[in-house]
Amino acid sequence: MDTLVVGVPSEIKDNEKRVALTPDGAVELVHGGHRVVVQSGAGTGSRFPDDEYAAVGAEIAPDADAVFAAADLVVKVKEPVPEEYHRFREGQQLFTYLHLAADRGLTEFLIDRGIGSIAYETVQTADGRLPLLTPMSEVAGRMAVQAAAHHLESPAGGAGILLGGVPGTPAANVLIIGGGVAGTEAAKIALGMRALVRVLDTNPTRLAYLSDIFGGRLDLVMPNRARTAAYVADADVVIGAVLVPGAKAPKLVTRDMIAAMRPGSVVVDIAIDQGGCFETSRPTTHSEPTYVEEGVTHYCVANIPGAVARTSTLALTSATLPYLVTVARHGVVGAARTDPALRHGLSTLDGRLASEPVARAHELPCTDPADLLDGR
């Protein structure tokens, strides 16, 4: 097929300074014969100025309207927001994080506009890895502990507890719900700050793995409702790091559990992009990152890695670029046919939904990706 025009608009979510393509990535696409159109200033927040893109052959467009008008394939970091919907053309292609199970409005828009979309977070390899979600989960897990430590401080309205304590005083109790990538990274940082750390996970194989890599320094528990309630009540910090790929996060911590925590405690919901795993969670922004519910500070920023834009952009684009080259070369349909990992990420095509977890979340009809691709 003809090479696609790849468009890179600026991200417009609150304090979202990541960019979907670095100048190094633009080199690869231009070398492949593609036109790359980057919105002026799109890379500024990650410290990639326009002239670095121009120097490698990318075109600099004055605004988002120009990028969307030129692009066959729109490449973003975060999911489109309603202010961007009018820019999409019928049948345009999209490659980004989508988190559709938590956003019926966006799901319906992509279906109605006939957008061919692949979601970063559901691209999955044969061994079950989520290669495009992993780098941002690593960043979010590490930052979750930094955020919790700050919001435990008295000036931030917290309980006035130093995460690691000092000799003669107790360290904070940190409870991490979910022992996947984000939870593991959170545990590394919390242990490094000398907190007392407990991880809950329902997968005994994962618990055994964590026991091996942490050498017994973690308290590792297979949860049930009673245990979860008791451990939440005892915690100074609870980090929700639950992931069901492509699906809405289960509400594992109830309002009653939150209410049983000590005033000034902190909860961080890394799963907020997928709807959150605390009953009391609602999305927040970097401008207004917290709110207090039941006397507990809630940090539920929906784009946590955006706070360290350069690190996050470099980590994300290193992972996405090989897949992006495939999507740019073959288009969404051809890429999904060519690469089974990308086929797992196929979300919408030709006005139909291709993700079973999203369909379940919104009670919408779903078409098997294989059937969608066979029809093209």
Catalytic (active-site) positions: 99, 273
Coil, helix or strand for 230? helix
Reduced to 3 states (helix: H, G, I; strand: E, B; else coil), residue 132 is coil
Whole-angstrom Cα distance, residue 372 to residue 376?
7
* Residue 287 CB-density burial (10 A; 0-12 exposed, 13-18 middle, 19+ buried): exposed
Residue with tokens 């994080």: 97
- Residues 6 or more apart whose CB falls under 8 angstroms from that of 31 comprise none
Residue length of the chain: 376
Picking from 13, 84, 79, 110, the residue whose alpha carbon sits closest to that of residue 362 is: 110
Distance set, CA 304 to CA 11, 143, 301 (Å)? 14, 7, 6
DSSP H or E run through 228: helix 225-234
Per-residue three-class SS string for 318-365: HHHHHHHHHHHHHHHHHHHHHCHHHHHHEEEECCEECCHHHHHHHCCC
